[in-house]
Every structure is written in C-alpha cells, then in structure tokens.
Amino acid sequence: MKDNTAVISEINGLLGSNTRRAYVRSFGCQLNVSDGEKIQGLLKKMGYSFTENEHEADLIILNTCAVRENAEDRVYGIVGSMKKLKELKPSLIIGIAGCMTAQSHVAEKIKKSYPQVDFVMGTSAISALPDLLLETLKGSGFSADITEYDDFSETVEQVRGSSFKASVPVMFGCNNFCTYCIVPYVRGRERSRRPEDIISEVRQLVSEGYKEIMLLGQNVNSYGKDLGGDISFPQLLRELNKIEGDFWIRFMSSHPKDASRELIDAIFDCEKVAKHLHLPVQSGSSEVLARMNRRYTIEDYLGIVDYIRSRDPDFSLTTDLIVGFPDETDEDFRATLSLVKNVRYDNLYSFIYSKRSGTRAAEMPDSTSEEEKGRRMRELLEVQREVSTEHYKRFIGRTMRVLVDDVSKKKEGWLTGKSSEFIIVEFEGADSLIGQFVDVEITGAMNWAVTGKITERDSSK
C-alpha cells in the first residue's frame, strides 16, 4: 500500500481544525461499493466526516460504473447538475472516480466539458486520492490519475455501510474479454489477493460480529491462477469455512467456463457457504454465446446445472441474461426462454444489450429493432414470473435460516431478509432482530419472495 502519511499530514495542515464533510456515492456493482468504502476510509484518515446530502458537503466524490451506456449518461447528468453547487460554494471540491474515469477519453471529456470537476482517478488509483486532493487544495487546477497500480490496498480502513454484512474482494480485473464487456479495459488483468490476507480479513470481520461475508471478483472461479496454482477458489472456500463463528459466506460472480465440480462440491461440503450459486449464462443460444466469447456452450452450461441438481434438485440458482445482443434471432431468443423454463432459476437479472465503445460487440452488425428487443424483454420477464411463482412454492412448509436485513417496505411490523438460498423472506418481527439470524417457517410464496413466521425457538428473541 502506498504510504500517504506525509501527504495526509500536509492536507491536515492546510485544512487545520476546520470541519469538513464528504459525500461519496458509488454506482454499479458490489466491487464498486467496496472501492467506495475504501475511498471513505482514506477520507476518514484526512479528517473528513460523511454526509448523505451533497448540499452539506465540502468534498463530493462520485465512484462511477461503465458497464452500460445509460450508467455513464446518468453520471454525466449528475455532474452537470453540480455546476450550480460549485457556483453557490466555490470552495467545494468535486472528484470523479471509478470505471468511467479509467477510460482516457472519458477523463479528457470531463476535463474539457465539466470545469466544475477538480480531479479524476481510475479504479486502480484509489491510493492516489490524497495526492489528487492535495493538488486541488494547493490550487493547481484539474488533475488526473488513471494509471494502474499493483496495489490491493491491504491496509486501507474501510468505512463499511453495514454492521453485519461485509464485502471482501478476493481478486481484481478480468481476463475473459467477453465481446460486450468493458470491464477488462477499465479494471485490468486478473490479480488475486494473497490467501492469507483474505483469511485474516474475514477472520477479523467475523470477530467484529459480521454475519455475512460476500467474496467479490469479476470471475472468482479464476482466483489463484496467477499465484502459481498453489490455491484455487474452492480451496479458499474450504479454508474460510474453517474460521470459527456464526456466519455464512457468499460469492460473486462465477463464470460458467470455470465452474468446476470441485467448486460445486465445496459449496455442498462447507456448512458456512450459502446454498446458492449465481451462474451468469447471458444467453440460451450457443451461437450467441460464441459471438459473446463466453467460451462455453449451452450443453456445457447444462452439464453444470445437471451436476448441481444431482446433488440437490431444489438448489437455488440465479443468472444474468442479455436480451437483444447484436443480430440475436427470434430462434436464439426462444432458446433463452427454453433455458429459463428448463433450469428453473429462482431469479434472474436481465438487461437489454447496451453498446459499449471500445468493445468488439460495438462493431457488430445488428438488424434487430429496439422495439423488438423491448418486446423480447417483456416476454422474458413474464416467463420468469411464471417460473418463480411456481418454483417458490417448494419452500412452503420448510424452515429457512434468514439473515434479517431491514424492516419490510410492504407491511407495517414486518421484517425482510434473505435465506441461505438467497431468497427474500418476509415475516412479522421486532426491529431488534435486524442483523441477526432467525429461523422462519415458510407459509406462503409469491413470484419475488416467500412469507412466513418466526419459529417457536426464535419467537422470544
């Protein structure tokens, strides 16, 4: 980790005892959220407290996402609106971080078109934040750092957004180069953290009372390949499972081309690993998958599903699907619908294809209209609603262990949480249960959640 002690000391000298508040907003995936927590950790060292209201802030940092074009457009709109904030408060410092600014043309556009922005930094440049902030405080004008550091920020204190759920990156970057995806270009090649650092971090979080540990990576199944092959992701799961404490382990994302039987066996063998797998398929057509450069066929994918179902027919699976990939035919789309009905996902995250400049797919011909893509999306969602409405009924009569997340937005006096199977569970209960495990007997099922009641054993808690 880059030593920022001298720079932070100089910043504190310039700002003195003045109260300073920061507004940090992260967009996109959970890796971005984790990066945002590290940004807050550095700011805390610099004497900043935090606010949820940008109008109260002395420093604003937007931690951006570049996966889809509308995500970037949204950020540009927000940055544009901050021109007024800067006029009202000239001392306000505005910084843009994350995947958007890891693209040099975006950094140049921000410099040219958004003079209210003081600095930008890429995804691998979090440790450069104190230097960028110091340059701004000294009045040196717009500054940028979008270079790559081999810096996993092992010593950064994170300001975590939850007291009972924590995300832990196990690796960074991606080597897959799916033709639609910008991630390898903005997050770089795969770099795995040392297993001893991950184990130490998880052990510390568990000792602090965290109940859910989410392991993060663009493709966690590739974990360890750059470490000489001494440890694989399934082996890491088994090591983390040995940590004492009452907690469970989740992970995402899992690429099908590397989803081995060893991984599936580890999920079933390790009692602390949640019984759910998010396995993004993206399309039900092998022809489309080939154009996506996914490096597996539907037959390969179904082989993984069949092995999982042989271990447990009711195992919980979720997936990602892209509708309207360039020149997706109606036959291709029908194959996707067939896959959804066959696999019986508990949930899916679906998106209409969004062209990303700089990717191979952006140059592919596409004769399918936007209207047709929208129609296909609506049909897909309707099929999934039918599948999940029926599939969720399998939980009725079971008792599910649930980590309570929050109060329900649907019913007064009810709580909401997720089971080990990553199923939303709603039930009556006291707010004091938030952040705790409870056992819930399932009495009803909908297409998005199940409902139930806390069992006798937990009702007095």
User: Which domains, from first to last, does the chain contain?
Assistant: 5-145 (3.40.50.12160), 160-274 (3.30.750.210), 280-393 (3.30.750.200), 396-454 (2.40.50.140)
Q: What is the pLDDT of residues 124-134, one digit of tens each?
A: 778 889 999 99
Residue 417 CA, distance from chain mean position: 18
| Closest listed residue to residue 153, CA positions, set 121, 184, 123 | 123
Q: What is the pLDDT of residues 53-95, one digit of tens each?
A: 999 999 999 999 887 777 888 899 999 999 999 999 999 999 9
Give dist(CA 326, CA 361) in Å, integer: 7
Task: Tell me what pLDDT residue 356 has.
Answer: 86
Task: Tell me what pLDDT residue 103 has.
Answer: 82
Window from 17-21, 253-257, 282-286, 416-420 with minimum mean pLDDT: 17-21
Window from 53-67, 269-283, 305-319, 336-350 with minimum mean pLDDT: 53-67
Which residue is listed with tokens 């996902």? 345
Tell me the C-alpha to C-alpha distance, in Å, between residue 407 and each of 54, 414, 431: 26, 6, 7
For the chain, the C-alpha Rg in angstroms (whole number) is 23
Give dist(CA 183, CA 65) in Å, integer: 10
| Closest listed residue to residue 198, CA positions, set 185, 215, 186 | 215
Task: Tell me what pLDDT residue 185 has.
Answer: 86
Looking at the DSSP bridge assignments, the partners of residue 417 are 404, 425
Task: Tell me what pLDDT residue 148 has.
Answer: 65
Q: In the chain, pLDDT over 90 holds for what percent of residues? A: 76
Q: What is the pLDDT of residues 356-386, one digit of tens each?
A: 888 999 999 999 999 999 999 999 999 999 9
pLDDT band at 12 (very low <50, low <70, confident <90, very high): confident
| Closest listed residue to residue 99, CA positions, set 166, 174, 163, 14 | 174
Determine the average pLDDT of the residues in 160-168: 94
Give dist(CA 235, CA 242) in Å, integer: 11
Determine the average pLDDT of the residues in 431-436: 96
Task: Tell me what pLDDT residue 155 has.
Answer: 61
Q: What is the pLDDT of residues 240-250, one digit of tens each?
A: 999 999 999 99
Give dist(CA 417, CA 292) in Å, integer: 35
pLDDT band at 154 (very low <50, low <70, confident <90, very high): low
Q: What is the pLDDT of residues 331-340, one digit of tens each?
A: 999 999 999 9
| Closest listed residue to residue 297, CA positions, set 287, 286, 281, 288 | 286
Kindly provide the residue ranges of all beta strands, DSSP E only, lying in 212-368, ordered along the sequence.
212-216, 248-252, 276-278, 316-323, 347-352
Task: Tell me what pLDDT residue 2 has.
Answer: 64
Window from 58-72, 289-303, 401-415 with minimum mean pLDDT: 58-72
Q: Does position 152 have pLDDT exceeding 60, yes or no?
A: no
Task: Tell me what pLDDT residue 458 has.
Answer: 53
3-state secondary structure at position 441: strand
Tell me the C-alpha to C-alpha distance, in Å, between residue 388 and each of 156, 175, 217, 395, 449: 41, 33, 27, 12, 9
Q: Does position 461 have pLDDT exceeding 70, yes or no?
A: no
Q: What is the pLDDT of residues 201-252, one digit of tens each?
A: 999 999 999 999 999 999 999 999 999 878 999 999 999 999 999 999 999 9
Q: Does position 1 have pLDDT exceeding 70, yes or no?
A: no
Per-chain mean pLDDT for the chain = 92
Q: Is 111 left (phi over 0), alpha (psi -120 to 50) or beta?
A: alpha
Give dist(CA 357, CA 99) in Å, integer: 14
